[in-house]
Amino acid sequence: MTTLSVTLTNRYLPRVPDWVRDLFLIVSGSLLVALFAQIEIPLKPVPITGQTFAVLLVGALMGAKRGGAALGLYLVEGIAGLPFFSGGGSGSSHLFGATGGYLIGFVVAACVIGLLAERGLERNFRTSLIPFLAGTGIIYLCGIAWLTVFLGSIQQAVIFGLLPFLLGDAIKLIAAAVALPSAWKLLHR
């Protein structure tokens, strides 16, 4: 767990067993991603959402194990029928449809971002860009790979699954890099 999440949970959840604190963090992370999934610009075959921003923060705040677990739980919740995917969607069709690679990429990205954050790379704007760039790259890699299979063309996958997202994801990445060190400053006053 990153120092930030330890500080937050010790401050706001004192005197509870570690497993209760971990469960609270994992569920909270999944709910944050579900909330940001509802911020949507509908595009076909893959919508633009706020999920990426939430995935970056969850991975950095919770570390590899809890961040990955939070995103894994998010997938299970959405597949089980909760309206947690983009636009209030749910069901396994999202995992096996055009967005499946991105959804799997969220889990992998949260783990990698968490690993990098556990090594202190989330402490200031400049260094927090490293895990966030890595996580965004992983999301794109998984998303484009699956979309290539889904659409039958890497060119089409790049046109529909990468190019429309670059500007928005750059903004989300910078916003996450600004938000995280700001949280550190607030906690250590």
What are the sequence ranges of the domains in the chain?
A: 3-187
Could you tell me if 86 and 31 are in contact, meaning their C-beta atoms sit under 8 angstroms apart? no
Per-residue pLDDT tens over the stretch 82-133: 999 998 999 999 999 999 999 999 999 999 999 998 998 777 777 888 999 9
Q: Say which CATH topology domain 3-187 has.
A: Arp2/3 complex 21 kDa subunit ARPC3 (1.10.1760)
| CA angle (51, 56, 58) in 5-degree steps | 90
Per-residue pLDDT tens over the stretch 127-166: 888 999 999 999 999 999 999 999 999 999 999 999 999 9
Q: What is the C-alpha to C-alpha distance for residues 92 and 112, in angstroms, rounded to an integer?
A: 25
pLDDT given for residue 186 in this prediction: 56
Could you tell me if 103 and 95 are in contact, meaning their C-beta atoms sit under 8 angstroms apart? yes
Q: What is the C-alpha to C-alpha distance for residues 162 and 115, in angstroms, rounded to an integer?
A: 25
